[in-house]
Amino acid sequence: MTFPSTIEREKLPKHVAIIMDGNGRWARSRGKPRLFGHRNGVKNVRSVVNAAREIGVPYITLYAFSTENQNRPNDEKSGLMHLLEEFLKRELANMLKDGIRLRTIGDLSGLPVFAQKIVEETVEKTKHNSDWNLTLALNYGSRQEVLNGIQSFAQQVSESGKCPQKIDWSEFSNFLETKDLPDPDLIIRTSGEFRLSNFLLLQAAYAEIFVSPLHWPDFNRQAFIEALQNYIQRERRFGKTGDQISHSTKSTAQIQTT
Ligand code: FPP
């Protein structure tokens, strides 16, 4: 597989958020335990991250562990946390070399201490990097994030005496954990299901959604490029009519693979 040779970069999404689904089914179809699927899913993270960097998508957010995943069996949760630890230990050198900044969204205090520690260390060690942005959603749930944001915002509003009617979205969005990230332009979900599963519900207000039938461990570089090709063909109207969207923003771009 070769890299894309020409890209109309301005048509590319700035932020792609991915729901990495299907690790369990991928493993089961091979007669293997679920953790075998997660292990292969982690391997795949590197190829998709590399593809995004090389193509010119500067922000990737991965839904690695949801608040609802806390209800999984203990051995699966523990296996996932050890995979996360291995991944971060292995990738730190690459992140530093490639200027990748790691961020997280979600409540890290709900992770085992060893996982919190490695995540916090990696976030700290990469905090001055600014070439590329990887965000892991860990023990993340959109509804909890919004509730937390409302609580802090309401307190600030009441303390400042600000008129609640004057509050706008941009002010409130600063109370979400994604305040330093652009809204996702494209949400990819693997494994064929058409759900957001409590992922970035408000931030995804105008996101394009792409559902791939492939299970996450099979969602390779080429599949990622196909998702981007599909995205750049779409007309994003943001509530306007098609006629209001100028020809220049109508997408005819192609990512050519050589
Ligand atoms: C969904 O597959 C996947 C998850 C719940 C976990 C995704 C996590 C990883 C790929 C590993 C950790 C990530 C990093 C970045 C180190 P599923 O188990 O729900 O699959 P199924 O629906 O087929 O059962």
- Ligand 1 atom with minimal separation from the 62 CA: 15
**Closest residue to atom 16 of ligand 1, CA basis:** 84
CA of 130 to the centre of ligand 1 (A): 27
Within-domain flag for 1: no
Ligand 1 within 6 A of 87 CB?
A: yes
Within-domain flag for 189: yes
Tokens found for residue 120: 């916090």
For the beta carbon of residue 161, count every other beta carbon within 10 angstroms. 6
Query: What confidence score (pLDDT) does residue 245 get?
Result: 72
Q: Amino acid letter at 204?
A: A
Structural domains of the chain, count: 1
CATH number of the domain that residue 47 is part of:
3.40.1180.10
Question: Which stretches in the chain have pLDDT values below 50?
Answer: 1-5, 250-254, 256-258
pLDDT per position as a tens digit, 95-145: 999 999 999 999 999 999 999 999 999 999 999 999 999 999 999 999 999
Within-domain flag for 190: yes
Within-domain flag for 150: yes
Query: DSSP assignment, residue 75?
Result: H
3-state DSSP assignment of residue 174: coil
Query: What confidence score (pLDDT) does residue 147 get?
Result: 98
The radius of gyration of the chain's CA atoms, rounded to the nearest angstrom, is 19
**Closest residue to atom 10 of ligand 1, CA basis:** 41
Distance CA 17, CA 137 (A): 10
The range of the structural domain enclosing residue 29 comes to 6-257
Within-domain flag for 101: yes
Distance CA 167, CA 174 (A): 12
